[in-house]
Amino acid sequence: MNTLWKALALVATIWVVVAAGLFFVGRSKPTPERLMAYLETQPLKEATPDARVQILERVSRQLTAIPYETRREAPEMRRAVDRFFRELTPAEQSEFLDRTLPVGFTQMMEALNKMDPERRKRLVDRALENLQKGDGRSEEERALSLDDPNVRKIIENGVQSFYKDANAQTKLDLAPLLETIQRQTQNLR
């Protein structure tokens, strides 16, 4: 009987440890809400250079751990990350892009590959419509933005991911969008 109680106590202890582990893992999983809360509590203006590096690393890690679809459906988080990005120095912006773009574009291509063709076509049609409307900036302003090293980095990473990660059908479906972007970019130069 004594052995039975010891075995039950051991099993109960194991279950408590497992439950605590699962609780901790669930609480540490990055979400848009947790990322936004972290950004609100970490003002970059007041941070030391070492603290800025740690903040940048943590935000990059959390952002890339959030699934693409979740990020896409979280406009508040995107705005918070955009504000954070604008507060970074040019060197920090470049580092942030190096840490987040490859993962983000890979996740986006995987999502596009899994998307049904009709939904992908609607997405391309909407993107083409948005390109035709423009973004409210003059041609001169858009041309100047192409000289920005971060804009070039985003374009290069996106194109590389497209050719590396998109399947054949996705490439065919996105071809009109890429051609329009290329045409508009060439007209700006």
pLDDT tens digits, residue range 163-184?
899 999 999 998 888 888 778 7
pLDDT at residue 7 tops 80: no
- Residue 172 structure tokens: 């065919």
Query: Regarding predicted confidence, which is higher, 101 or 137?
Result: 101
Selected residue with higher pLDDT from 145 and 112: 112
What number is the average pLDDT over the span 12-20? 54
Give the model's confidence band at 135: pLDDT under 50 very low, under 70 low, under 90 confident, else very high: low
% of the chain with per-residue pLDDT over 70: 77
Reading the block at residue 37, the tokens are 């809360």
Q: What is the pLDDT of residue 45?
A: 87
Are the beta carbons of 152 and 146 closer than 8 angstroms? yes
pLDDT band with cut points at 50, 70 and 90 for residue 80: very high
The larger pLDDT score, comparing residue 165 to residue 187, is at 165
Give the pLDDT score at 66.
93
Q: How far is CA 173 from CA 59, 114, 118, 120, 182, in A?
A: 33, 13, 10, 7, 16
Q: Specify the pLDDT at position 26.
A: 45
Number of CB atoms found within 10 A of residue 120's CB = 19
Q: Which residue has the higher pLDDT, 58 or 135?
A: 58
What is the pTM for the complete model shown?
A: 0.71
For residue 59, is pLDDT > 70?
Answer: yes
* Amino acid 25: pLDDT: 42
Cα–Cα distance measured from residue 22 to residue 108, given in angstroms and rounded to the nearest whole number: 29
| Per-residue pLDDT at 136 | 62
More confident residue, 137 or 24: 137
67 CB neighbour count, 10 Å cutoff: 12
Q: How far is CA 159 from CA 47, 52, 106, 188, in A?
A: 35, 30, 11, 18
Long-range contacts of 10-17 (CB under 8 A, 24+ apart): none
